[in-house]
A and B are shown apart, each in its own frame.
Chain A
């Protein structure tokens, strides 16, 4: 038995909460993927001056 009984509101809003949760999860995945691409790209490489030194 759960400690707190689920309120009727939770069942009613389940699909909405699920939608928001999945959207946020997708956003995190996208930002993570974008970050990996950006970091491994040439644009964020070491500055030329630093490499020469």
Chain B
């Protein structure tokens, strides 16, 4: 075999290994984050006191999901440099060399435009504009501006992830009331303890990438106390929501149980030393993070249950 043919076959094999599959392009849309967006937007849509045609409702959720995915792709385009440093993100399509950063930007921009226009056409332009604002908030305000400039990045940036139930509600009603903002507040207040717990056990990641997470700028002890403070505020909000238009006995039961568990976890985290955490490989922090996923799912699930049972006279307080 000549050198030339050897090089050609090596290059071809390399190209095949690096070539993006359809799944790699789909991964740009952050499917796991998208599932949260879909679920919370669906709850917002179904909890609204206006019936929505199933096809319109399906399209609304689909376009909100595509908008969420588009912001994920734009986030990966902008953050490609730090994604390749962090252990958690180095396998993403751009740092792994499967997809070019420019491709991610093009897909993100195209899907952003498509989702906003289609949501506006399918439901109403208020919802479409709100989706556009959410994408702008996540990509420009959070990803480009706050993420690398302030330790409060997670707090303010969390708003972007909290908008979907509001969009779902607006898509159904075309207007705004207190209830969708309570759902917004629930996700907004839940985000910091959820991410700070992650930052505690994914220690070196954010340090290496130079992202000013609270653990890096204010230290790990301060982060532990921040988790507790935010969890207390979250618990007050979550239980208080029970007595609003989207609450009811099912929601109240879920809120009391889950917030008791969440508060216990936050209390344990705040009273642990680094040595304690090192000794058991951050067992408490890891279980708090897992609990936080269940926490949000069950709260929104309870809101959904209240809404679905209302037509049968079972949901809500009446």
Q: Which residues from B are CB-within-8-Å of A37?
A: 53, 55-56
The B40-68 residues at the A interface (CB cut-off 8 A) are 53, 55-56, 58-59, 62
Asked, given contacts A15-B21, A16-B21, A20-B22, whether A34 binds B16 with beta carbons under 8 Å apart, the answer is no
- Distance, CA A34 to CA B117, complexed state (A): 14
- Distance, CA A41 to CA B164, complexed state (A): 26
Task: Say whether B20 faces chain A, with CB atoms less than 8 Å apart.
Answer: yes
Interface contact A30-B59, CB-CB below 8 Å: yes
A interface residues, tally (CB under 8 Å):
14
Task: Say whether B19 faces chain A, with CB atoms less than 8 Å apart.
Answer: yes
8 nearest CB pairs, A to B: A19-B22, A37-B55, A16-B22, A34-B59, A33-B55, A37-B53, A34-B122, A16-B21
Which residues of A are interface residues toward B (Cβ below 8 A)? 12-13, 15-16, 18-20, 30, 33-34, 36-38, 41
A selection of 16 A-B contacts at a CB cut-off of 8 Å is A13-B19, A18-B22, A19-B21, A19-B25, A19-B26, A20-B22, A30-B58, A30-B59, A33-B55, A34-B56, A34-B59, A34-B122, A37-B53, A37-B56, A38-B56, A41-B53
Which residues of B are interface residues toward A (Cβ below 8 A)? 16, 19-23, 25-26, 53, 55-56, 58-59, 62, 121-122
